[in-house]
Chain A
Amino acid sequence: MEAMTTQEIVHYSIFALLALVTVGGAIKVAASRSMIHAAFWLFPVFAGVAGFYLYLGAQFLAAIQVLIYIGAILLLIVFAVTLTRNAADTDEAQSNRFVIPVVLAALLLVVALVGAAVITPWREAGVDIDRLLLAPGVPVTDVSAVGLTLLQQYLLPFEIASVLLLAAMIGAIVLARKERRAPDEALPAEEIMAHDERTEAYTELTR
């Protein structure tokens, strides 16, 4: 086997680092006892996926990934963790009774998925053999092409996504809002009657 060139060494190192950060972080997310630790272990996962996007040449998606996942979703999850009681304070198990069969099934699924990727005859499927291996020097994403595709060919999904975001925003506000009773309006009937009785007793006393 011939010695690897410097370029190959750099590519394999980048790939190994990104894979380690992403998968290792994901395993820590799934296994951490402390919820706040699990939430913060999401950061290397999202950052590693953003790194993969950059490595694959999708720099626009990498920026979006950092903005939306790290900037918004991660922050939202950390807030939700801090607003709820941390179950790691107790000695209870953090996983339910399915954990051993599920992990075994997951290992099988990994073998099946990776095996399918390995044995698929990419070359025979008509895929250009030069593209099967990521070659350096291929130009990165033309962001204007993404925008044109989004706003010309896929305008309807784009609009549906924006309506979905609006609906989700309103739904989240309604769901997370504290219930606040309007005076006299939302009181249950018994409370109103009790209130009236008290008022009558008070007026009789002061009469």
Chain B
Amino acid sequence: MVIPITGILAVSALLFVVGAVALITRRNAIAALMGVELMLNAANLNFVAAWRYFWPERMEAQVAVLIVITVAAAEAAVGLAIVLNLYRRFGTVDLEQIRLMRG
């Protein structure tokens, strides 16, 4: 009678795509990591929507979201540590200028 699942899925799709655009186009490495966080949030929102509309009596989706949040925290910590290391070594976090592994 109120919000159909399509509405939640549309919001999550927009969030995911905006995150992907940020990941691909931003030159600042930290901004690219922000894009990854947006995409993970979109995936979690999809999990919760599927749980709520289809299987509200089972808790697998919430367990999956908890584990995704854990992995996202680990990813942010290691990713930002790598970015700080890059900044210390190259004096910049511009992904266009750091071409150590590009050949």
**A residues apposed to B, CB below 8 Å:** 7-8, 11-12, 15, 18-19, 22-23, 26-27, 29-30, 35, 38-39, 42, 45-46, 49, 52-53, 56-58, 60-61, 64-65, 68-69, 72-73, 76-77, 79-81, 83-85, 87, 92-96, 98-99, 102-103, 106, 109-110, 113-114, 117-118, 122, 127, 131-136, 138, 141, 145-146, 148-150, 154, 157-158, 161-162, 164-165, 167-169, 171-173, 175-176
Q: Say yes or no: B38 contacts A146, CB within 8 Å.
A: no
Question: Is B98 part of the binding interface, using a Cβ–Cβ cutoff of 8 Å?
Answer: no
With beta carbons under 8 angstroms apart, the residue of A8, A94, A113, A167 that contacts B13 is A113
Could you jot down 24 A-B contacts, CB within 8 Å? A8-B2, A12-B3, A22-B15, A29-B35, A30-B18, A35-B28, A56-B51, A58-B48, A61-B65, A68-B69, A69-B37, A69-B72, A87-B93, A87-B94, A92-B27, A117-B13, A131-B53, A134-B2, A134-B3, A161-B70, A161-B71, A165-B74, A168-B78, A176-B80
| Closest residue of B by beta carbon distance from A9 | B2
Known pairs A81-B30, A134-B52, A165-B73. 9 more at Cβ < 8 A?
A: A15-B7, A26-B19, A35-B31, A69-B69, A73-B37, A113-B17, A114-B10, A149-B62, A175-B82
Contacts of B71 in A (CB 8 A): 161, 164
Given contacts A176-B84, A176-B85, contact A29 B38 (CB under 8 A): yes
Whether a CB of chain A sits under 8 angstroms from the CB of B100 is no
Write the nearest CB–CB distance from A149 to chain B, whole angstroms: 4
CB-contact partner of A61 in B66, B92, B95, under 8 A: B66
Give A114's nearest chain B residue, CB to CB. B10
Contact with A along B45-66 (1 / 0, CB 8 A): 1001101111010111011011
